[in-house]
Amino acid sequence: MPDQNYNQLVLAQLQALSQGIELLRADLQTVKEDLTKLKAREDRVDDLQEWKTRVNEIVSPSQLAQLVSDVRELSDFKTKAVTIFAVVQFGMAVLVLLSKLMGPIG
């Protein structure tokens, strides 16, 4: 009888250890998945750092801001120039129309 109780106790302990090992395997799998995600993020961060370095070699952030400002100024100038050109053309068309309606002056 004592051997049978001992065997049942050992078997129960082995089953408990087996369940514990399975839980640890599941936890380890979760940790591996998290580690893979972290490595992917790290790769993306490295790519962004390389891109930023390449951009900074070409133009600094302050130069880039100045460039954006210059482009805005040129866009405003273009809008004004096209508007003035259209007004002058309209004025010329009105003068030509008036000269044809009134006949030659002089």
Contacts of 59 (CB under 8 A, 6+ apart): 67
pLDDT at 56 (0 to 100)? 83
| Rounded Cα–Cα distance for residues 79 and 73 (Å) | 10
Domain extents for the chain? 1-58, 71-106
pLDDT tens digits, one per residue of 24-65: 999 999 999 999 999 999 999 999 999 988 888 888 888 888
Buried-state track 25-52, b at ≥16 Cβ within 10 A, e below 16: eeeeeeeeeeeeeeeeeeeeeeeeeeee
